[in-house]
Chains A and B, each alone.
Chain A
Amino acid sequence: NAGVTQTPKFQVLKTGQSMTLQCAQDMNHEYMSWYRQDPGMGLRLIHYSVGAGITDQGEVPNGYNVSRSTTEDFPLRLLSAAPSQTSVYFCASSTEGQVEAFFGQGTRLTVV
C-alpha cells in the first residue's frame, strides 16, 4: 500500500520562486493536512481539508495556498518562497473522526 505519498523529497529554491509540493493518498481519507516542522517548534498546521472542495487555514497559513479538487490530492503551493519557509513539510491524511493520522515521508525544503 502506498499510503500518503509526497513529492519531492528534497528541494532547494531561490527567494521569490514559487513551487508546489505534491501530496496524494490512496486510502480514501476525507481529512488531509499540511504541517511544517522546525527545530524546537514541533508540527505546526498550515492548511487542512475535510473533503474535496473544502479547505481551511491552520496556525501558519501565510505564504501558502492549497486546493482540494479530488479526495486523493492535496497540493501545497508556495507563492513566493522566503528563507523563513525553510522547513520540513509533512502531509497527513485521516478518516473522519481522526482516529489515526497517516503521514507522508516529508519534503525537506531549503530557500536560499
Chain B
Amino acid sequence: RKEVEQDPGPFNVPEGATVAFNCTYSNSASQSFFWYRQDCRKEPKLLMSVYSSGNEDGRFTAQLNRASQYISLLIRDSKLSDSATYLCVVNRPGNTPLVFGKGTRLSVIA
C-alpha cells in the first residue's frame, strides 16, 4: 500500500459546484496533515493544514479521520481559479521529509 493515496482525477466540474477530494494514508503514527495546491508548471504551495477537529478557510473545508486514516478536502462554490492539482501531504515520525500524494487534478469549467 502506498503511503499516501489519492484519486488522480481529473475532476471536471462547473463553476459553482461543490467538489470533494479524498486521501488515505498508511502510517498510523503520522501526526501532521496538509493539503497543497499546485498550479500547472508551478511549484506546490500550502493550501491548508488539516486538524483533528476539522477546519475551514473560506470555501475550503478539510477533515481528518484518524481511525480510518482518511483526509478530505471540500471546495464549495468552485471558481475557475480553483483549477489546479491538489496534493495530500502527510508527515512521517522522526526527521524525514513530508510525504506527498500524487495529486488530484481539478478543472473548473465555465
A residues bordering B, Cβ < 8 Å?
A: 31, 33, 35, 40-43, 45, 48, 50, 58, 90, 92, 94, 97-101, 103-106
Cα–Cα distance between A106 and B34 once the two chains are bound (Å): 21
Say whether A101 contacts B95, CB under 8 Å: no
Q: Can you list 30 A-B contacts with CB-CB less than 8 angstroms, sorted by A residue number?
A: A31-B95, A31-B97, A35-B100, A40-B8, A40-B102, A41-B102, A42-B100, A42-B102, A42-B103, A43-B100, A45-B97, A48-B96, A48-B97, A50-B95, A58-B97, A90-B43, A94-B97, A98-B32, A98-B91, A98-B97, A99-B32, A99-B49, A101-B46, A101-B97, A103-B43, A103-B45, A104-B43, A105-B42, A106-B42, A106-B43
Say whether A43 contacts B96, CB under 8 Å: no
Within the complex, the shortest CB–CB distance from A37 to chain B, in Å, comes to 9
Cα–Cα distance between A92 and B38 once the two chains are bound (Å): 14
Cα–Cα distance between A90 and B38 once the two chains are bound (Å): 12
**Residues of B contacting A48 in the complex (Cβ-Cβ under 8 angstroms):** 96-97
Cα–Cα distance between A98 and B91 once the two chains are bound (Å): 8
Within the complex, the shortest CB–CB distance from B68 to chain A, in Å, comes to 22
Cα–Cα distance between A45 and B91 once the two chains are bound (Å): 13
B54 at the interface (CB under 8 A from A): no
A-B pairs, top 6 by smallest CB distance, nearest first, are A42-B102, A103-B43, A43-B100, A33-B97, A50-B95, A100-B46
- Known contacts A31-B97, A50-B95, A99-B49; decide if A105 and B43 are in contact (CB<8 Å): yes
Within the complex, the shortest CB–CB distance from B55 to chain A, in Å, comes to 14
**Residues of B contacting A101 in the complex (Cβ-Cβ under 8 angstroms):** 44, 46, 89, 97-98
What 0/1 readout, one digit per residue, does chain B (42-58) give for beta carbons within 8 Å of chain A? 11111001000000000
**Residues of A contacting B102 in the complex (Cβ-Cβ under 8 angstroms):** 40-42
